[in-house]
Chains A and B, each alone.
Chain A
Amino acid sequence: MSGGEGIEVRGLVREFKGGVRAVDGIDLSVAPGEIYGFLGPNGAGKSTTVLVLTTLLPPTAGTARVAGFDVVQHGPEVRKAIGASLQESALDPFLTGREHMRLQCALHGLPKFERDARGSELLARVGLTEAGDRKVNTYSGGMKRRLDLALALVHGPRLLFLDEPTTGLDPQSRVALWDEVRRLADDGVTIFLTTQYLEEADVLAHRVGIIDRGKLVAEGTPAELKAGIGRPSVEAVPQDPGDRERLIRVLHRFGEDAAAASGAVAVRLPTGVGELADIVRALDAEHVRVADLRLHAPTLDDVFLAKTGRSLEGAAQGEQGEDGEDGGNGGEHGESGAVGGGGGGEQEPARASMQQV
């Protein structure tokens, strides 16, 4: 799959002074039209990989073909085919949004008569029509990211690199940007998206590559990756500790024992989350009241944990700055949902299961 609009990377290495290998022998393929999520903690090598693939940094070893062109041999051709919204929004605070569009159109060689129309079209697409004539130093972080995305699209790239596009955005702006990414993918644009947010990779990406300390530790669809490390489990805490034995009996009808927190009982479900409603009905029939009932589906964090021995969230805190990546961890949570007393707050990914309950 060396697709003309995809990415093909073999043995990619980028070493910095002092022998630090920010990227250490990565192999990956991104098919044309695919959204590829590149997930990892700060300093894992995500941004360095993007810099190499966008021709902003030459590799130390290995090969990378982007849109059918070698990034070392055919840099100009690669740059013509791609758009990129990098981690730092590279904007001039003294230019307006519209002037940025004009500049970017000119840099990409769009004919003069097309520039204003193209700029207006893209500003409208990212919801910045009204703010288009304001200087960028009056924009919020979210507006800057959206402008950056619009700028990356002026020449109609076949392949788009988004380096942590939602870092620092409020939830509303984040969802709006996700919608735009999906629209682009629907239009046939191949998207290489780096993120440190588990949810973002899970929700957006067709396939995910997990990178840690410069190495690709897992790759596949989110479902494949999660399925690869085990089945979901359900954990319950009886409201009355005296009901514990009855609770165990009910839960054992649905699966075998699993590790549980103190005072809780857990079983691993044989197939998936479909049994959750049956469990609730069975508990009700047996008059076992629970203080907390929690479904724990494997998450990408569990995948990361299984592959590296560390949690993605924890890994993010200790390794900042290795390759210039910054920004805080997004406070992602495991894909568990809870009913009863132990509510999960923002634990959104298990929403479908919890709605069944």
Chain B
Amino acid sequence: MSDRAAHSAGVWAVALAIAWRSLHTYLRRPDLFIPSLVFPLIFFASFAGGLSALGSVPGFHFPAGYTAFQFVFVVIQSATFAGLFTGFTLAFDFESGFARRLMLAAGDRRGIVLGYALVGLSRALITLALVSTVALVAGMRITGDGVDLFGLYLLATLLVLVGYAWAAGVAFRFRSIQAGPLMQTPVFLVLFLAPVYVPLYLLKGWIHAVASVNPATAFLNAGRGLISGAHNHTALGFIAAGALVLLFAIWTLRGLRAAERAP
């Protein structure tokens, strides 16, 4: 029986197998799949539609219009949450015992980290494709060029990884879905303490002070600059996202080591 034992999957083979399984399950579960599509659309409709009068506030100037202004927030939120909810999936797999199968079968366990990252990216791809289509159908104007748009989705990709790596690090350490609020709450706070509805310069008081140092502000500024073609701290947004990816990647890999030591 030992002829097959010579085989051993590398990091990528393990990652692709895990991604295949998780996406397969995700698409078969309407309770997971539908909310992940519907909620970004609800946010987009309510922010870009219901709050569109904010675009007429004195001093508000955004070349691509308020729909594009809010679209960037929804893209960033959807991307971050696609990653975040992949962390939930990982936590659930630990709680159900399925992750043990992965820990046991994976020759190189870093493939598990990478596999779930691919899941997060795939989920984000589905959600962002839908949100973008709906936004374009709704008449959203894009005044940036193709490279700018590519930059926006590249930024979104980094934010998927930020959300995922944060949540995965928590999931590896707690190995229970009960850690969900710990994954979710900081991300909610960071996203909503940013200039969501109006630009930073229109915010006043403590929210302005907080938003000024909030990394989500850098992401929003960069994203809005890209979609409008009027670049606004683009490099800062990418550097902040890249730094967080790196930081949380270390957090996740250390989490994996913690999971390997855990009972």
Contact = CB atoms under 8 A, between A and B. Distances in A.
A156 B262 CA distance: 28
Contacts of A158: 1-2, 5
Contacts of B260: 58
Contacts of B192: none
A81 interface: yes
B8 A109 contact: yes
B4 A154 contact: yes
A157 interface: yes
Interface string A98-138: 01000110111111000000100000000000000000000
B29 interface: yes
Given A56-B100, A80-B8, A84-B104, A95 B21 contact: yes
Contact of A106 (B5, B16, B263): B16
B34 to A, nearest CB: 15
B24 interface: yes
B4 A107 contact: no
B150 to A, nearest CB: 32
Contacts of A184: 1
B113 interface: no
Interface residues of B, number: 37
Contacts of B1: 153, 156-158, 184, 187-189
Question: What is the interface of chain B mostly: helix, strand, loop, or mixed?
Answer: helix
A109 B4 CA distance: 9
Contacts of A51: 263
A154 B3 CA distance: 11
Contact of B7 (A84, A92, A110, A187): A110
A155 B4 contact: yes
Interface string A207-245: 000000000000000000000000000000000000000
B171 interface: no
B102 A107 contact: yes
Interface string A169-190: 0000000000000001001110
A56 B3 contact: no
B20 A106 contact: yes
B105 interface: yes
Contacts of B7: 80, 108-111, 155
Interface centre among B4, B17, B97, B100 (most CB of A within 10 A): B4
A151 interface: yes
B16 A86 contact: no
Interface string B94-113: 00111111111111100000
A1 interface: no
A90 B4 contact: no
Interface in A48-106: 48, 51, 54-58, 76, 79-81, 84, 86, 88-92, 94-95, 99, 103-104, 106
A90 B21 contact: no
A324 interface: yes
Contacts of B204: none
A92 B23 CA distance: 12
B29 A58 contact: no
A117 to B, nearest CB: 12
Interface string B66-109: 00000000000000000000000000000011111111111110
Contacts of A187: 1
A89 B262 CA distance: 19
A156 B1 CA distance: 5
B191 to A, nearest CB: 30
Given A94-B29, A157-B1, A151 B101 contact: yes
Nearest to B27: A94
A76 B260 CA distance: 12
Interface in B2-30: 2-5, 7-10, 13-14, 16-18, 20-21, 24-25, 28-29
A76 B29 contact: no
Contacts of B8: 76, 80, 108-109
B17 A110 contact: no
Given A57-B263, A103-B17, A103-B21, A81 B5 contact: yes
Contacts of B17: 103, 106-107
Kindly list the 10 A-B residue pairs having the minimum CB-CB distance in the complex, ordered from nearest: A109-B9, A106-B17, A156-B4, A107-B105, A156-B1, A90-B101, A109-B7, A88-B97, A90-B97, A94-B25
Interface of B: 1-5, 7-10, 13-14, 16-18, 20-21, 24-25, 28-29, 96-108, 260-263
25 contacts: A48-B263, A51-B263, A79-B105, A79-B106, A80-B7, A80-B8, A84-B104, A86-B97, A90-B99, A91-B98, A91-B101, A92-B21, A95-B24, A103-B20, A107-B9, A107-B14, A108-B107, A109-B7, A109-B8, A109-B10, A111-B7, A151-B101, A154-B4, A187-B1, A189-B1
Given A79-B105, A108-B4, A157-B1, 5 more contacts: A48-B263, A80-B5, A86-B97, A109-B7, A151-B101
